[in-house]
Each structure stands twice: as structure tokens, then as C-alpha cells.
Amino acid sequence: MKGLLLAAVSVFAAALYGASGGAGDVVIENGRFRLTIGADAVVKSLIAKHSGEELLSMHDPVAFCSVTQLRPFNNEIKLIHPHRRTVYQANRIRREGDRLIVGFEIAPYDAVIEVKATDDYVAFELKDFILTEKSYPLCPTLTVPLDFTAPPVEEFRIVQLPVKDRENFGEWLNVQWDGKAAVGVFAASEHAQVRAERRTGYRLMCADALRSVKLRGTCAVVTVDAGNDAILDRLDALERDCSLPSGVKNRRNKLTNASIYFMRDVSPGTIDRHIKFAKRGGFKLMEMTSAQFFGPSGDYVYHPQYPNGAADVKTKIIDKIRAAGLVPGMHILHTFINMSSRLVKEGDRRLLLREHYTLSRAIGPDDDVVHVDENPMNAELSPKCKLLKFGREIMSYESFTTEPPYRFTGVKRGVKGTVRAAHEEGLIGGTLWICEYGAGDIYIKQDSDLQDIVAGKVAELWKAGFGFIYFDGSEGTHPPYGYHVPNAQYRMWKKLVPQPILGEGAAKAHFGWHMLSGANAFDVFSPEEFKAKIDEYPAAEAPLMKRDFSRVNFGWWGFWHPGCKIRNKITETGVQSDMWEYGTSKAAAWDCPMSVQMAVKELEAHPRTDDILEVMRRWEDVRDRDWLTKAQKEVLRVPGREFHLYQNGKGEYELHEIRMLPTPAKAPWLRGFVFERGGRRIVSCWHTSGEGDVKLALGEGGKNIPLHIAGRRYIETDLSAAETEKAFAAAVTE
């Protein structure tokens, strides 16, 4: 907030409250909107000044603020009302200078919200609570007040506005917009939890402060602007004022929509070949996992080929990428500690526990039953995840009871390299929170310093010259996820110097919008299902991301040669150029990139690598030049329709819709497509796994043409579409 306080107008009574309203109304405004709240704390109006439009729905009365308590407090109050989690709506509001004093139904205290206005937004910060001797008076039968830290607020809703539905709602950013206006409720720091609740005809756009995260000092902003992406300028100002990551600036960088060449096997021995392949494919971004440079997360010991650590990574890898005109990026599993790590073997206190249990009996080093106070009915059942931790010892178990006396049975002591020990009655431990993807890692306790230590290790490697980052495993935190998911990313981002030009992550929440220029790459799909999965997942998410002024990564894509094994299954075709053209054309239609996972061994083994990389080069060029028209993008987006970017004799691109031809029974290695050009049919075909001779009856009058087929070639024919299909299906190997 320090930047915001400097940028905001702290004395603004005339400008802020000068507009007319009803008796007792609070009117808050800047140059872009006027917000009116009644004396009863009910929101009355939000006017866009550029158009005069009322932006709120008056269908239901909505209070501007509320508080949530886990149960009623104060003796008389708790006797009247049921004991449960309860929301108390604000029912009175007044202004005192640049502060709002807000009171609530039943809850016996007031809240103080500081208001700061700039030309770009208005900020609302929870400053404090006002307690009086009447807030929690003496109980009639007691001579002392209630002894607890007041007030008992679990959540505080700083802002809630019933914003009328507009054409687009960006769920991630929390913005509603169309061509006429945009309304956003945003967090000014990582602490505010922002969301919108769908109602009939409107969304209740909210920002909350949580006791478990931060109450006092949590700030949210409201902003209004003309339609489409004009609101990004307001966000840009917020990011600068509050020293936030540059989400707007990074989105406006053309590299945000450049596709990513992800090296699966980067080393000093492969880097030159990888660079050659990346340039042939027209890539500008090259990504690599930190595991290529140092050992398991938690240890971060550099591999032997980098004896001087990050300095060797710089000279042997990063400098070569930079010299080729490409930008290197880092893929990092940032919320994990690997099972083989020293921290696991030492039973570090900062490993995350999922369920907590208290020893109801002392246990010796060799006991194989662990008695606990709590019912372990929610303990982990997955075999690889049945791990307990008490003190510094990790134990596995076979089963547990859900009737008293509660106990874990079949316990093996001192597993994962830890040391057996005796543990006293009353010791609190629990089940470890294991990563569900392979069960090879343990999550980090986010309310400890371990995430910062990991960030420091990664930041040292970052100094080798990386430019962008992918936060994998971002879902690997504990609740509240809306805070911990982006905050784990932020704790690392702040240590990266210089800051990344773009970021991606495996999970997203509101504040992460400032760091993640686009969202997640999907996991790899096999060649046989590739096109269908493109339509099912990234193409379905792309329009949703566009509502957040963002893009989705249409990758990751795996590169496999014909006949290799994928997840214990043989792929007959391997990756073919039409598959990746389908994916990259759909991505380009939404102004999105993709990531491809490349290994030198696969690239050199695949007979059609050159054709596949040429497809990628053309489409990367199209992205860079913004060559596609709006109409072309619309038709490209239609699921199932396939297109080919043809390069004519003048070197110019032509976009043609294509149709796959039937695989010839007597030449099963032949793959072909047909499209119309200049009144003739063009057959594009190639050998999927090598080269060979074939006869195709595509000549004049259906005459056989003997051809040697290897890489992609184009054959023109005057045959009709039906005749072309029949002739191709009848192709015969020579």
C-alpha cells in the first residue's frame, strides 16, 4: 500500500464528497465513476461518468460491507442466536474525512475503512475496529469483562457491489465488461480475497479480508472505465502505484503470444542442437526445468557438469541461447520438497501436514501401533501417501480405526531415511501432505520460511540470465488457496532480478494475474487423441481467458516418432505435421501460443521433423506479423475444421481449409490431405515413417503417377474432390 498512499489524494473532501446525494448518503467519486451508499449502508448507485450509465442492479438491497463470525459472542447475544458461522451485514455508515465508519446488525462494534481516490481507481482499506465499553459489557453475574481479543471477526467484506451482468465476465481478474463499460473489483496486494457471486441479472463483486491471512491493512480497489480493454490502463496505474508485478505491461509484450520450445534434455552436450531445432521452428522462447541443473527440490545441489553453479549454467547454456537471439525460461516446481531431499530425511518441521493428530499414548522406537485422540476417518488411503510424521520421524501405516480407541496400525518406523525415536504422549503430528502427481514430493508449509528459502535458491540460478518463468505445481499449497496459490508464486517472483517478462503457472488465483501473463499449459496428449483434446481443453478455455484479457497456453505437446512407446502404448503414427498444425492454428485463432516438449533423441529420430518444424515456423511468423484477419480467426476457431498455411511460389502465405484423405490400404504409411486452389485440387501428402515409392492415379484422366514420397509434397490435379479421394485411397506401393 505504500506506493498507493503516495499516489492517492489523501485530502479530497470536496472532490470525494462534493456530489449531491440523499440525506446521510455517502458519495465517493473520482473522474470516472460516482458511487453512492445510503446511510443504512445499502449501495444505491454506481454511475459511469463517461456515459452516465447506471452500472448496478437494484434488484436486491445489498450492503456495502459485512463481517463474518464463527459464532455469536457476548453473553446475551450468544443466548439469543444459534451458534454457527454467521454473516452480519452492515446497517449504518457515515463518513469522517477520508474514512468510512461502518456499523453492523447485531455485531457490537464499528469498522474503519480508509478511502483513497486517484484518477484511475478508488481504494478501500480496512484500518481498524472501534470498540467501546458497550461492545462487550460485563456479564450480569460476573464482575469481569469477556477475556478475549476483540472483535471476533473471521472475515471482513471490504467491498460488495451488485454489478449488472455485461457481455463478458473475467472470473480470474474479477471484471465485467463489454464495448460500453467495464467494472472491476481488484486486490491492491496479495492479501485481499476477490471474487464474484452469480445472481439473477447481476454479480455480487466482492473483496474480503481474512483473519487467517490479514485483516487490518487489507485493501481492495474499485475502478470503472469505457469498454473493452481500456480498464487495463487503470490496472497498469494500480500496479505502478502499489509496486505490483507488471501484469499489464507484460501482456502488451509481443513475446507473451510467442510459443515456447521446452527442452526436456538440455545439457552442454545438447544445447547447440536444441538451438538449431528451435530456430528452424521459428521459436523465440526456450524453456528448461531447473531439475536439469540441480538435484531434487529441497537440496538444490548443482549437477557435476556445473561445478561453478549458476556461473556455469550461464556460460554453458544461457549465453548460447541469448546469443542466438532467443529468450531462456525456467520451469520450476516451487511448492514441493522431493522425497529424496535432505529435508525429508531430517524430518524438517516445515513439511506440510494434511491432518493433525495428538498422541494419546507414548510410543517407543519399535511400536507398530500409534494411538491418537482424533478420529483418523479423513486420513489418507492412497498407498503411496500413507505417511505420518511425529517430531522428526516419518512413519508409514497400513490401516487405522474410526471407532475409539483411535489408532494407526501396521506402522513402520523411521521411513524415508528418518530416525526412529520415542515420542511422548501429547505430541502433535499428523499425516504428510503428499503431491498427488506420483507421490514423489511433499508440499511446503506455506506459513513458514521454507518457501522463501526455496525462492532464494531459485533466484540464484535465475541470475544466470533467465527471462521468463513457469510455476509448475502451483496448486500444491494449503487453504486458503485464493491466498496461498498466488502468494507462493509472489514470494519467488519478488526475489527474481530482473523480474520475468512473462510468467505461466499450473494454477491461478486473483492476485496471480499480475504475474501470470497467461494461464497453464495442459499436460501432453498422445498423437491419436491430440486433435480432439485440443478442442476439448485449451480451445474451450481460450474464450474464457480472453474475458480476463489473457491467453491460455495450448501446450504442452509431446514430440514422438512413429513406433515409440507412450505410457506403455505404441504410437503407430507418432506426431505428424497436420496434428501440430491443427493445434497451433486453433491457438493462433485465439491469439494464444503453445509449448512443445522436445528431446534431441526424438527430434533426430523422427523422419518428419523438418516438416513439423516448418509448420511451426510458418505459424509463429503469422503470430508475430499479426497476419490473420478477424474473419480468418473466426473460422479457424470452429472445432473440427482443419486448415493448412500454404506458401505459394512468391513466398506468400495462403490459408486453405483441408480435408484428410483416407489412408490407402496398400500404402498405409501414406498420409494426405486435399484442398481447393485456383479451381484445382491440391493434394498434400508425405510418408509418416520414412520414404517409399507409390503410384497415385491423380494424373489427367486418372492416370497413374509414380512418385517417390518422403517429406511433404504437393500434387495438383483436375480430378473432382470425390475422384481425388477415391484415387488416393487406391494408392499402391511400388
As given in the structure block, the three cell numbers for residue 687 are 510418408
Average pLDDT rounded to a whole number, residues 659-688: 97
Reported pTM: 0.93
> How many Cβ atoms are within 10 Å of 464's Cβ, its own excluded?
21
- Band of residue 31 on the pLDDT scale cut at 50, 70, 90: very high
Share of the chain above pLDDT 90, in %: 88
pLDDT, tens digit (0-9, with 9 covering 90-100), for 329-375: 999 999 999 999 999 999 999 999 999 999 999 999 999 999 999 99
CA distances from 327 to 261, 262, 318, 332, 347 (A): 10, 12, 9, 16, 39
pLDDT of residue 148: 78
How far apart, in Å, do the first and last CA atoms of the chain sit? 75
- Contact between residue 631 and residue 643 where contact means Cβ atoms under 8 Å apart: no
Residue 650: partners with Cβ closer than 8 Å, 6 or more residues away: none
Residue 4 main-chain phi, psi, to 5 deg: -65, -40
pLDDT, tens digit (0-9, with 9 covering 90-100), for 260-318: 999 999 999 999 999 999 999 999 999 999 999 998 888 999 999 999 999 999 999 99
Average pLDDT value over all residues in the chain: 94
For residue 514, give the nearest of 330, 244, 182, 331 by alpha carbon.
244
Average pLDDT rounded to a whole number, residues 176-203: 97
As given in the structure block, the three cell numbers for residue 454 are 526455496
- Band of residue 18 on the pLDDT scale cut at 50, 70, 90: very low
- Contact between residue 524 and residue 538 where contact means Cβ atoms under 8 Å apart: no
pLDDT of residue 521: 82
Helix spans in 341-449 (H): 342-345
Residue 586: partners with Cβ closer than 8 Å, 6 or more residues away: 534, 535, 538, 539, 542, 554, 636, 637
Q: Indicate whether 524 pLDDT > 60.
A: yes
- Contact between residue 460 and residue 308 where contact means Cβ atoms under 8 Å apart: no
* Angle made by CA atoms 132, 91, 15, in degrees to the nearest 5: 95
Of all helices (H) and strands (E), which one includes residue 619?
helix 609-625
Residue 657: partners with Cβ closer than 8 Å, 6 or more residues away: 635, 641, 642, 643, 675
As given in the structure block, the three cell numbers for residue 597 are 516438449
Amino acid identity of residue 4, one-letter, is: L
Q: Indicate whether 11 pLDDT > 90.
A: no
- Contact between residue 597 and residue 558 where contact means Cβ atoms under 8 Å apart: yes
pLDDT of residue 145: 63
pLDDT of residue 76: 76
Q: Indicate whether 3 pLDDT > 60.
A: no
Lowest mean pLDDT among 16-25, 104-113, 114-123: 16-25
For residue 600, give the nearest of 179, 263, 137, 111 by alpha carbon.
263
> How many Cβ atoms are within 10 Å of 410's Cβ, its own excluded?
12
